[in-house]
Amino acid sequence: MANKSELVEFLDRRVFDPILHASSEGRTEHERNELEDVQRRTRTEQERYHHYPSAEKVIEMYKDDLGSEKARPVNAKLRRLRLPTLPDVKEEFERLAT
């Protein structure tokens, strides 16, 4: 099983950083507003993952987040913006976590 740092770095690289570094250039005003919203939410989520005390907690919370009702509208926005979501990397994350 990967350690906490490896799991969080994976999520940073594959999900959080692409969202946080996405450009608003060439997007409509509505898309720019959605991008700002998902970037704000992603920063908060990324901080949460970085502060979990262990790899086990990262794995537990990742699984919880996959089925979260609150995540559904955010994931829909991310898909509309063609950005990655936590479910997009589920198989890779699970391989890394085992």
What does the CA dihedral 22, 23, 24, 27 come to, rounded to 10 degrees? -90
Distance of CA 94 to the CA centre of its chain: 15
* pLDDT tens per residue, range 13-23: 999 999 999 99
Q: Which pTM was predicted?
A: 0.94
- Token readout for 52 is 């979990």
1 confidence band (pLDDT: 50, 70, 90): confident
* pLDDT tens per residue, range 10-65: 999 999 999 999 999 999 999 999 999 999 999 999 999 999 999 999 999 999 99
Of the candidates 86, 75, 89, 85, the residue with the CA atom closest to the CA atom of residue 34: 75
